[in-house]
Amino acid sequence: MKTTVEIPNEELKQLIEFTGAKTKKDAINAAIKSYNKQQRLLALSKKLGTFENFIDGTELDQMRAE
C-alpha cells in the first residue's frame, strides 16, 4: 500500500543506522515489524500466570529427564 507521510529527517537517519537498512523503505518496514513483534510479545506477557495446569521449569526438567 502506498502512503505519503512526513518523517523527521533525523529520526529517519537514526532508524536507517539502527536497522542497517539500505533504503528508507527497508528501514521503515523493519521498524514496523519490530514494533508489531513488541506488541505481540506484550500481549502474550499479560497472559503469563493465567493458564491453569501449565507446567513450570522444574516440571519440564523432570519430564525431559524421564
- The answer to whether 34 and 46 are in contact (CB under 8 A) is no
% of residues, the chain, pLDDT over 70: 95
Closest CA to 2 of 20, 25, 23, 31: 25
Q: What whole-number distance in Å separates Cα of residue 4 and Cα of residue 27?
A: 15
CA angle 12, 18, 19 (to 5 degrees): 90
pLDDT at 53 over 80: no
pLDDT at 31 over 80: yes
- Ordered by start, the domain boundaries in the chain are 9-65
Higher pLDDT, 60 or 12: 12
